[in-house]
Chains A and B, each alone.
Chain A
Amino acid sequence: MKYLDEYRDGAKAAILVKEIETLIAGMGITADRPLHIMEVCGGHTHSIFRYGLEGMLPKQIELVHGPGCPVCVLPMGRIDDCVSIAEHPEVIFTTFGDAMRVPGSRKSLLQARADGADVRMVYSPMDALALAHANPDREVVFFGLGFETTMPSTALTILQAEADGVGNFSVFCNHITIVPTIKAILDSPDLQLDGFLGPGHVSMVIGAAPYEFIANYYGKPMVVAGFEPLDILQSIWMVVRQIKEGRAEVENQYARIVPYEGSKPALEAVSRVYELREYFEWRGLGSIDHSGVKLRDSYARFDAERKFAVPNIKIADPKACQCGEVLKGVIKPWQCKVFGTACTPETPLGALMVSSEGACAAYIQYGGGRPRVAAA
């Protein structure tokens, strides 16, 4: 495919891997304490496993799979709220596909559908708005979730609903923000990270500027990275080069998509519709200040949280889960005590086993539950 296959060229990959090996050779780094580079975004995690990148990298580099899978980090209580909204007989509850399997404390949305709730998968919030137009006697609720990547499309849909004068459409807003989360990870005392691959699609919206504190205050290199395997390899090379040269900067590998200052129309829609929440609860990471958004009062009539009495009960993560430690790079997925035993993709306990973008699920699906796939 044009504009895709070029970024999946195995011959170019081999050259980049050699370059990374050459860079790292003179740095005195051993496999006992390799460089820990976190890819923040679940899309990167997926590509890394999908193309077998881990097995291609020198042993002195270890990738730590970050919190950037918005489906994974949804707390159980929010899923319970979804189910309770979806169980209203007048409601058509619409959601992105991979949120359907996330377990709540009672059930997932898939189970709720089996029990009779009208839960439908959509590809875009605009599809949900179209459903509202087509079903004027029903209340269509869209499950808004995701980082800044999906935040603008939900905001624009709400603005469209307002322009259309639609009264039977609302959003259950669970959008979250990446920067406070990266900050929370950087502030954790057991942090073992040496650099970051920045989330490409989030940055398409917010730009690269908001990450400057990572370089300036915490002294860690960050490279905003694209999602194709060559993008990721090149970004790793850029991070290693910064470390080698003693620099800590925000660099933009994904400049073909990401403008430094972000997307003005998207940011305008976002700030028009949402305001920051005081705090938001994350599965595996706990409560993080200012890490989520809600609809502004002026859009209250599109806010499912205000239209429906949601239970909004905080459900603690299962005690055995070590998702937080995996997310911070303290342990690898397979070192968690419930990995592959009590916690599996069929019956996920923890956040990272939930979606195919979660690090633990990816290890099981693409890595056979082992550290690395042995090359034959």
Chain B
Amino acid sequence: MNALGAIATAAPIRPRGRIHVRAVTLAHGGGGKAMRDLIDDVFVSAFENPFLAPLDDQARFDLAGLAAHGDRLAFTTDAFVVDPLFFPGGDIGKLAVCGSVNDLAVGGARPLYLSCAAIIEEGVTLELLRRVAGSMAATAREAGVDIVTGDTKVVHRGACDKLFLTTTGIGVIPHGRNLGAHLAQPGDVVLVNGLLGDHGAAILCARGDMALESPVESDCAPLNGMIESLLAVAPGLRFMRDATRGGVATVLNEIAEASGVSIEIEEGRTPIRGEVKAFCEILGLDPLYLANEGKIVVVAPPDQAELALEALRAHRLGGNAAIIGRIVAGEAGRVTMRTVFGGWRIVDMLVGEQLPRIC
């Protein structure tokens, strides 16, 4: 039973439906028994929690139970359309849970509950769905959250690409935590919790378009545990954000703009694994713009920077954490990088998608 004392536990236990066909058809989205069997077989049995089991239209929480965690709710949503669905280091299910968990955690919230909406293309196999649901369940357990409500739609072939997931998350922010992109001040220190660009490189390789093979795995991971231990020793942190699409470069630009400051980073201190560097060299990409799914950018006041670095490095998801730069007074929104070569360059927002260069 959930620690909050779930209201839903009073509901009677209901027999679970099973599915015996190989693949999903439009009948499984029709709202009848086939759909309920699909939800039972794939999602309810994997997610297994008392909120979800009665299949009501909503999960219900005891407000006092939520309030015991803090004084503000955090609420987020994210859609997942990754191609391929399974890639080295993760899959769409793991990604969908980590995405919403991390979006809550970087705001200082303790993630508690997720919803999951699945849009399924007809013809997708039950085996695939069970694998994805199993992965979601395992990741939710790792993050200590419950997936408490959901929705399933089945669409015509071609109307979506196999499987799209949307997760929405609720968390509670403990009293006194106050993080924001606008709070960075000159003198503050910028950290990351490890090697950058792994997810982006892993996905690009896994797509197979580039006919490149690489041993790089996605860094996809729920970061709430690491962030809790970070905030425990460095409660004065100004801001955190997970550096997903657009990479670290984009997050730095967002901070510089929101806080009206400049940011200077050091290329030589930016942790990027050799394989990812080589991958980027070949394709003409910039690793600072590659997506991460288990990396955060942290802005710490100078007196807590070393503490934050130690806390990150002490956690298994922060072993390669590093101080990569600092906030400086200067033109608002400007991010510059001192290159390994000793020159300076601007690190701007990306205009569109990064496209490999011809030569």
**Residues of A participating in the B interface, judged by any CB pair closer than 8 Å:** 1, 4-5, 8-10, 13-14, 43, 46, 49-56, 70-71, 96-101, 120-124, 127, 145-147, 149-150, 201, 229-230, 345-346, 355-357, 364-368, 373-376
Tell which of B345, B351, B352 touches A49, judged by Cβ atoms closer than 8 Å: B345
Contacts of B278 in A (CB 8 A): 1
Known: A43-B359, A345-B351, A355-B357. A373 touches B346 (CB 8 A): yes
Bound CA–CA A230/B345 (angstroms): 17
Q: Is B334 an interface residue (CB 8 A)?
A: yes
Encoded as 1 (CB less than 8 Å from any A CB) or 0, chain B from 274 to 285 comes to 100110010110
- Knowing A43-B359, A97-B357, say if A123 contacts B212 (CB, 8 Å): yes
Closest 4 CB pairs of A and B: A52-B343, A97-B355, A97-B356, A10-B342
Give bound CA distance, A5 to B351, whole Å: 29
Please state if A71 and B339 are interface contacts (CB–CB under 8 Å).
no
Q: B249 → chain A, closest Cβ, in Å? A: 10
Give A139 to B338 CA distance when docked, in angstroms: 48
| CA A145 to CA B348, docked complex, whole Å | 28
Is A50 a contact of B345 with CB atoms below 8 Å?
yes
- Chain A residue numbers with a CB within 8 Å of B358 are 70-71, 96-99, 145-146, 150, 355
Q: Which residues of B contact A124 (CB under 8 A)?
A: 211
Q: Are B341 and A51 in contact (CB under 8 A)?
A: yes
Which residue of A123, A127, A201 has the most chain B CB atoms within 10 A of its CB atom? Answer: A123
Question: Is there an interface contact between B283 and A123, defined as CB atoms closer than 8 Å?
Answer: yes
Complex: chain B residue closest to A70, CB-CB: B358
The answer to whether A367 and B328 touch across the interface, beta carbons within 8 angstroms, is: no
Is B264 in the interface zone, CB < 8 Å from A?
yes
Chain A proximity of B325: nearest CB distance (Å): 11
Q: Looking at B274, B338, B343, which has the most chain A CB atoms within 10 Å of its CB?
A: B343
B346 / chain A contacts, CB cutoff of 8 Å: 365-368, 373
A368 touches B343 (CB 8 A): no
Question: Which B207-244 residues have a C-beta within 8 angstroms of A?
Answer: 209-212
- Nearest-CB residue, chain A, relative to B358: A96
Closest to A376 in B: B264
Residues of A within 8 A of B61 (CB): none
Q: In the complex, A366→B343 CA distance in Å?
A: 11
Does B328 contact A376, Cβ atoms closer than 8 Å?
A: yes
**Pairwise interchain contact A150-B355, C-beta atoms closer than 8 A:** no
Chain B: which residue is nearest A374 at the CB level? B344
Q: Is B25 among interface residues, defined by CB-CB distance under 8 A?
A: no
| Chain B residues with CB below 8 A from A145, complex form | 358
B342 and A98: CB pair below 8 A? no
- Is A123's CB under 8 angstroms from B209's CB? yes
Cα A101 to Cα B336 in complex, Å, equals 26
Q: Which residues does chain B contribute within 8 Å of A46, judged by CB atoms?
A: 284, 357
**Known A97-B357, A101-B352, A356-B357; contact A8-B209, beta-carbon cutoff 8 A:** no
A362→B358 CA distance, assembly (Å): 16
Q: Given A120-B209, A121-B209, are A51 and B339 also a contact pair (CB < 8 Å)? A: yes
Q: Within the complex, what minimum Cβ distance (angstroms) separates B198 from chain A?
A: 16
Q: Cβ of B340 < 8 Å from any Cβ of A?
A: yes
Kindly supply a per-residue 1/0 record for chain B positions 316-352, scoring 1 wherever the CB is within 8 Å of any chain A CB and 0 otherwise. Answer: 0000000000001010001010111111111010011
Give min CB distance, A101 to chain B, whole Å. 6
| Chain B residues in 8 Å Cβ range of A53 | 341, 343
A51 to B345, CA, bound (A): 7
Q: Which residues of B contact A51 (CB under 8 A)?
A: 339-341, 343, 345
Question: A49: nearest residue on chain B (CB-CB)?
Answer: B345
**Contact A376-B340, Cβ < 8 Å, known A120-B209, A127-B211:** no
B227 → chain A closest CB, angstroms? 31
Residues of A within 8 A of B342 (CB): 10, 13-14, 52, 56
One of B328, B340, B348, B359 near A8 (C-beta < 8 A): B340
Q: Are B344 and A123 in contact (CB under 8 A)?
A: no
Question: What would 19 A/B residue contacts be, using CB atoms closer than 8 Å?
Answer: A1-B274, A1-B278, A8-B340, A8-B341, A10-B342, A50-B339, A52-B341, A53-B343, A56-B343, A70-B359, A97-B358, A101-B352, A122-B209, A123-B210, A127-B211, A345-B351, A357-B357, A365-B348, A376-B264
Question: Is A146 touching B359 in the complex (CB atoms < 8 A)?
Answer: yes
Give the Cβ gap from A293 to chain B, nearest Cβ, in Å: 16
Q: Is the CB of B339 within 8 A of A346?
A: no
From known contacts A123-B209, A146-B359, A150-B359, infer whether A367 and B345 are also in contact, taking CB-CB under 8 Å. yes
Which residues of B sit under 8 angstroms from A1, Cβ to Cβ? 274, 277-278, 281
Given contacts A123-B210, A127-B211, contact A98 B356 (CB under 8 A): yes
Q: How far is the CB of A67 from chain B (nearest CB, A)?
A: 14
Separation in Å of the B247 CB from the closest CB of chain A? 14
What is the CA–CA distance of A36 and B355 in the complex, to the nearest angstrom?
31
Whether B344 lies near A55 (C-beta < 8 A) is yes
Which residues from A are CB-within-8-Å of B340? 5, 8, 10, 51
B274 contact set on A, CB distance < 8 A: 1
Q: Which residue of A is nearest B274, CB measured?
A: A1
Instruction: Pick the contact of B348: A55, A122, A346, A366 (CB < 8 A).
Output: A366
Q: Which B residues are in CB contact (< 8 Å) with A56?
A: 341-343
Verify A201–B345 contact, CB threshold 8 A. Answer: no
Report the Cα distance A121→B212, complex, angstroms: 13
A196 to chain B minimum Cβ distance, whole angstroms, is 19
B216 to chain A, nearest CB (A): 14
Q: Give chain B interface residues in 92-123, CB to chain A under 8 Å.
A: none
Q: In chain A, what residue has the closest Cβ to B346?
A: A368
Cα A230 to Cα B343 with chains together (Å): 12
How long is the Cα–Cα vector from A147 to B358 in the complex, in angstroms? 10
Interchain nearest-CB distance for B196 vs A (Å): 16
Shortest CB-to-CB span from A169 to chain B, Å, is 17
Question: A9 CA to B268 CA in the complex, in Å?
Answer: 11
By a CB distance below 8 angstroms, the chain B residues around A366 are: 345-346, 348
Please, how many angstroms separate the alpha-carbon atoms of A121 and B355 in the complex?
Answer: 9
Closest to A233 in B: B341
Q: How far is the CB of B326 from chain A (nearest CB, A)?
A: 10
A323 to chain B, nearest CB (A): 18
Supplied contacts A201-B359, A368-B346, 14 more A-B pairs, CB within 8 Å: A9-B341, A51-B339, A52-B341, A52-B342, A52-B344, A97-B355, A97-B357, A99-B358, A101-B352, A123-B212, A123-B283, A147-B359, A230-B341, A364-B348
